[in-house]
């Protein structure tokens, strides 16, 4: 019998962890390194949206739909992920937004996304917490929610349990990878980790060991994006679906349709911070609310209150009620292949040394697509 193959994975975010899942499923023994005591990057700072609705037709939609299947399958095995097939509602506040939602609902792939255009009464039947003002909503049944603060430890628990009795999965936090060689990496303690395959999922750490490859790939344009988020105390009522406002129609490629040019200019506060409202209720009832987009570095080191006021006003206008007290605010940074430069690439994968593969740059679709990206790496 062939001896067991070994994969070394660096980066304990969702991409690294999904690569660990994919590797174990293919029979690899896995050593998983993370520089922090616990992952603290984009994967724990996001909404936990498994977001199919806004994906571009074609390969991006197919990747997201495959990932959605894998999330559902993992969700059934690992309850700690908090996977909920909750769907989403994108709400229109004026005629132009409603017309664009109508166009989206008539797309040839609308059925694959589970799209259905709803009038305000039907919106409230699906999500009774929505007592505010809106002209209609696009239901996307394919969208889902996971709990980002729970996903990584839950998946590691699953991997550790599957590996019982064998040396199947070893989690090594507090190990920063500082050097790369063929089929190996060295951590900051000087220890070498060798594997048949080494996978680097270092998120938005674009310097360090990923630096040389990304600099070479400068043409490919992998950039960093910073977002602001907040979370409230629990709301007493269930918000049955994830929510997005009409500003999201400006950002997601699925809505790059003729009606987009008819959208009125974005309000000043939203325009300055490139805001869109996304709102997800956490398992404990709290509301995760965001987001903004900052592209130019150096990024602000502090958070901007104007953006938060705008997002709060938007959330309250749709819910028709004040949101609970904000308990937490944070910012997060993700790595993204620049859509204007990268063309068709949905993320960046490159062999940086023989047997060492760097995977990053999935952008705002990284939580969604991570299980399918990991599958593609092994394919
Ligand atoms: C605020 C925000 C909201 C978002 N919302 C969503 C959403 O709802 N849905 C969605 O699909 N996507 C969303 N995204 C995008 C998604 O979160 C990211 O694309 C995804 O988490 C990237 O995962 P990652 O594992 O590549 O990166 P990360 O989560 O950043 O993980 C990288 C890890 O590598 C470690 N690391 C770095 N360098 C080293 C080294 N040298 N040695 C060892 N370890 C190292 C880091 O400490 C980190 O833990 C959002 C992102 C942000 C910031």
Ligand 1 atom closest to Cα of 368? 11
Q: Are 168 and 159 in contact, with CB atoms under 8 Å apart?
A: yes
CA distances to 47, 99, 140, 376 from 259, rounded to whole Å, are 28, 7, 19, 34
118 Cβ below 6 A of ligand 1 = no
What pLDDT does 219 receive? 47
Distance from chain centroid for Cα 323:
24
Round to whole Å and give the CA distance between 87 and 314.
Answer: 20
**Closest of 239, 282, 29, 25 to residue 148, by C-alpha:** 282
**205 close to ligand 1 (CB < 6 Angstrom):** yes
Angular region, 66: left φ>0, alpha ψ -120 to 50, beta rest: alpha
Atom 31 (ligand 1): residue with closest C-alpha?
13
DSSP state of 85: -
What is the token pair recorded at 110?
């609308």
The pLDDT value recorded for residue 3 is 72
Of 114, 107, 7, 53, which is closest to residue 249 (Cα–Cα)?
A: 53
Question: Whose alpha carbon is nearest atom 27 of ligand 1?
Answer: 203
CA–CA separation, 332 and 294 (whole Å): 10
Q: Is the CB of 185 under 6 A from ligand 1?
A: no
| Positive or negative: CA dihedral 253, 256, 257, 259 | positive
What phi and psi, each to the nearest 5 degrees, are found at residue 164?
-55, 135
Handedness of CA 343, 345, 351, 357 (dihedral sign): positive
Verify whether ligand 1 is closer than 6 Å to residue 346 (CB atom): no
Check pocket membership of 10 for ligand 1, CB cut-off 6 A. Answer: yes
Instruction: DSSP letter for 86, please.
Output: -
- Distance CA(269)–CA(258), nearest Å, equals 26
DSSP codes joined into one string, 20-43: HHHHHHTT-EEEEEESSSS--SHH
Alpha carbon of 312 to ligand 1 centroid (Å): 25
The Cα–Cα gap between 350 and 367 comes to 20
Which of 202, 278, 299 maximizes ligand 1 atoms within 8 Å of its Cβ, making it the mutation to test the pocket?
Answer: 202
Q: Residue 212: what pLDDT?
A: 83
- One-character DSSP codes across 107-168: STTHHHHTEEEE-HHHHHHH-TT--S--SEEEEETT-EE--HHHHHHHHHHHHHHHTTTTT-
What is the whole-number distance in angstroms between the Cα of residue 276 and the centre of ligand 1?
Answer: 20
Name residue 358's beta-bridge partners.
200, 350
pLDDT at 1: 43
Rg (CA), the chain: 21
Q: Does 60 contact ligand 1 (Cβ within 6 A)?
A: no
pLDDT value at position 221? 83
Strands (E), the chain: 6-10, 29-34, 49-50, 88-92, 115-118, 136-140, 144-145, 169-173, 177-181, 184-187, 192-194, 197-200, 222-232, 242-244, 278-281, 287-290, 326-337, 348-353, 356-360
Is residue 171 a contact partner of residue 32, using CB atoms and an 8 Å limit? yes
Tens place of pLDDT per residue across the chain (379 aa): 457 899 999 999 999 999 999 999 999 999 999 999 999 999 999 999 999 999 999 999 999 999 999 999 999 999 999 999 999 999 999 999 999 999 999 999 999 999 999 999 999 999 999 999 999 999 999 999 999 999 999 999 999 997 555 669 999 999 999 999 999 999 999 999 999 999 999 999 999 999 888 877 554 589 999 999 999 999 999 999 999 999 999 999 999 999 999 999 999 999 999 999 999 999 999 999 999 999 999 999 999 999 999 999 999 999 999 999 999 999 999 999 987 776 678 999 999 999 999 999 999 999 999 999 999 999 9
Question: Whole-angstrom Cα distance, residue 378 to residue 210?
Answer: 20
Return the ligand 1 atom nearest residue 41 CA.
Answer: 30
Distance CA 255, CA 57 (A): 10
Bridge-partner residues for 331, per DSSP? 228
Distance CA 188, CA 172 (A): 12
The answer to whether the CB of 32 is under 6 A from ligand 1 is: no
Q: Supply the DSSP symbol for 321.
A: S
Tell which residue, 170, 151, 181, has the closest CA to residue 75: 151
């Amino acid at each position: 019998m062939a001896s067991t193959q070994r994969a070394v994975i660096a980066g304990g975010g969702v991409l690294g962890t999904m690569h660990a899942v994919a590797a174990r499923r293919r029979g690899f023994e896995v050593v998983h390194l993370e520089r922090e005591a616990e992952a603290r990057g984009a994967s724990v700072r996001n909404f936990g949206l498994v977001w199919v609705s806004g994906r571009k037709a074609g390969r991006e939609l197919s990747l997201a739909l495959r990932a959605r299947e894998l999330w559902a399958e993992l969700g059934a095995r690992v309850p700690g992920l908090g996977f909920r097939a909750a769907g989403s509602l994108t709400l229109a506040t004026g005629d132009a937004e409603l017309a664009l939602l109508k166009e989206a609902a008539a797309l040839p792939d609308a059925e694959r996304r589970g799209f259905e255009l709803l009038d305000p009464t039907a919106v409230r039947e699906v999500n009774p917490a929505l007592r505010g003002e809106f002209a209609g909503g696009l239901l996307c049944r394919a969208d889902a929610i996971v709990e980002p603060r729970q996903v990584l430890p839950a998946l590691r628990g699953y991997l550790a349990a599957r590996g019982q009795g064998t040396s199947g999965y070893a989690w090594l936090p507090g190990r920063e990878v500082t050097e790369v060689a063929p089929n190996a990496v060295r951590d900051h303690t000087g220890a070498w980790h060798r594997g048949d395959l080494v996978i680097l999922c270092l998120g938005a750490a674009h310097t360090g060991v990923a630096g040389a490859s990304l600099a070479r790939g400068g043409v490919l344009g992998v950039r960093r994006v910073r977002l602001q988020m907040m979370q409230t105390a629990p709301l007493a009522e269930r918000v049955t679906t994830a929510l997005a406002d009409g500003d999201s129609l400006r950002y997601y490629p699925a809505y790059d349709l003729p009606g987009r040019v008819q959208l009125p200019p974005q309000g000043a506060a939203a325009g300055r911070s490139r805001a869109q409202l996304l709102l997800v209720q956490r398992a404990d009832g709290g509301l995760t609310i965001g987001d903004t987009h900052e592209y130019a570095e150096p990024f602000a080191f502090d958070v901007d209150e104007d953006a938060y006021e705008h997002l709060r006003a938007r959330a309250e206008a749709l819910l028709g009620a004040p949101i609970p007290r904000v308990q937490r605010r944070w910012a997060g940074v993700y790595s993204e292949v620049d859509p204007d430069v990268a063309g068709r690439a949905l993320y960046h994968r490159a062999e940086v040394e023989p047997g060492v593969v760097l995977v990053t740059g999935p952008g705002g679709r990284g939580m969604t697509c991570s299980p399918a990206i990991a599958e593609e790496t092994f394919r």
